[in-house]
């Protein structure tokens, strides 16, 4: 059993105040199983009828019609089901479904998923545009391309092209996109319940080091966007250095504005507007923080940025 470090505890007490104890308790609780019905492969109503015929009990995700979360204990190992192998369902944590919803992809859009593997959000975006558009699914780490390509194939995605470029250098490709999703590499402090070792290896210096990489990715994303293009920046980190501080930098240095995000039926907190001695642009309040104790999900941070 990993213990919560004192510096981690103190910093999150500053953010959460009286809710900190609930937050810490949630870090050691198993998450309910959740999945998407992949409408590229099967009709949603037909699939619901099929799954309920197995005795599965699940509820619709409040903000996304094709997402579902189990009531109580899942009856089977989802990854071993025929429906999974056929691509009729995609196993995905509820909070992970949020960035594509915030991106609001439309048919005909040219979209960059800058750090795409293993393809959860790429396949979701393809589903949301009914496979009618163009998605560049980029992944820096060559060994992770196999899982990305496998999931795209399994889910029947034809509109995606995979690339193997360091996201920081993607602007050199000379392409311009209507929308960019940057689900950035991060410390993962919102997903400790899935990876408890994060508690052992986390440090403030690691967050600061990653924040520099994230800024480089934001810069590359900005240079890859068309005028008035939309960038959704997300992490499964809860650290201000990786989140609000980066968004504040994107406002000041890259000329982005931050649009309000609403997720009906789902509890979120506004982005924080100061950290330590730093005061952030007021627009940062439009970002959302998702805490695990509020919806029994991973923790996440999401910002919707517009260029120009």
Distance CA 126, CA 153 (A): 12
Alpha-carbon Rg for the chain in angstroms: 19
What is the pLDDT at residue 1? 65
Distance CA 200, CA 125 (A): 34
Distance CA 63, CA 249 (A): 29
Residue 182 parent element (H or E): strand 177-183
**Closest residue by Cα to residue 2 from 188, 191, 195, 207:** 195
Any idea what the Cα angle at residue 101 is, between residues 243 and 31, rounded to 5°? 70
Which domains, from first to last, does the chain contain?
Answer: 6-29+96-307 (3.40.50.150), 31-91 (3.30.70.1170)
What is the pLDDT at residue 170? 85
* Start-to-end Cα distance in the chain: 48
What is the pLDDT at residue 139? 96
Q: What is the pTM for the complete model shown?
A: 0.96
Residue 214 parent element (H or E): helix 204-224
Q: Is 186 a catalytic residue?
A: no
Looking at 155, 159, 186, 236, which residue is catalytic? Answer: 236
Q: Would you give the DSSP letter of residue 133?
A: S
Per-residue pLDDT of the chain (308 residues; tens, 9 = 90+): 678 999 999 999 999 999 999 999 999 999 999 999 999 999 999 999 999 999 999 999 999 999 999 998 788 899 999 999 999 999 999 999 999 999 999 999 999 999 999 999 999 999 999 999 999 999 999 999 999 999 999 999 999 999 999 999 888 888 999 999 999 999 999 999 999 999 999 999 999 999 999 999 999 999 999 999 999 999 999 999 999 999 999 999 999 999 999 999 999 999 999 999 999 999 999 999 999 999 999 999 999 999 87
What is the pLDDT at residue 72? 81
């Amino acid at each position: 059993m990993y213990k919560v470090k004192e510096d981690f505890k103190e910093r999150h007490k500053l953010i959460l105040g009286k809710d900190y104890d609930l937050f810490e308790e949630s870090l050691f609780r198993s998450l309910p199983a959740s999945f998407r019905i992949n409408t590229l492969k099967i009709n949603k109503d037909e699939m619901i009828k099929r799954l309920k015929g197995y005795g599965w009990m699940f509820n619709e995700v409040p903000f996304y019609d094709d997402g579902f979360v189990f009531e109580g204990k899942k009856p089977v190992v989802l990854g071993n089901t025929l429906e999974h192998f056929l691509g009729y369902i995609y196993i995905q944590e509820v909070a992970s479904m949020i960035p594509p919803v915030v991106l609001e992809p439309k048919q005909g859009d040219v979209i960059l998923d800058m750090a795409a593997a293993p393809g959860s959000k790429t396949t979701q975006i393809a589903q949301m545009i009914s496979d009618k558009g163009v998605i560049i699914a980029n992944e820096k780490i060559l060994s992770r391309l196999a899982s990305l390509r496998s999931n795209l194939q399994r889910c029947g995605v034809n509109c995606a092209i995979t690339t193997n470029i360091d996201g920081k250098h993607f602007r050199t490709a000379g392409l311009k996109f209507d929308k960019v999703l940057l689900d950035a590499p991060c410390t993962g402090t919102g997903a400790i319940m899935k990876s408890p070792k994060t508690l052992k290896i986390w440090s403030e210096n690691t967050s600061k080091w990653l924040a520099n990489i994230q800024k480089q990715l934001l810069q590359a994303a900005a240079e890859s966007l068309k005028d008035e293009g939309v960038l959704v920046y997300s992490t499964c980190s809860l650290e201000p250095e990786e989140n609000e501080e980066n968004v504040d930098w994107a406002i000041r240095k890259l000329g982005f504005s931050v649009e309000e995000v609403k997720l009906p039926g789902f509890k979120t907190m506004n982005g924080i507007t100061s950290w330590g001695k730093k005061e952030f642009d007021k627009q940062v309040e439009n970002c959302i923080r998702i805490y695990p104790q509020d919806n029994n999900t991973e923790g996440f941070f999401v910002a919707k940025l517009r260029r120009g």
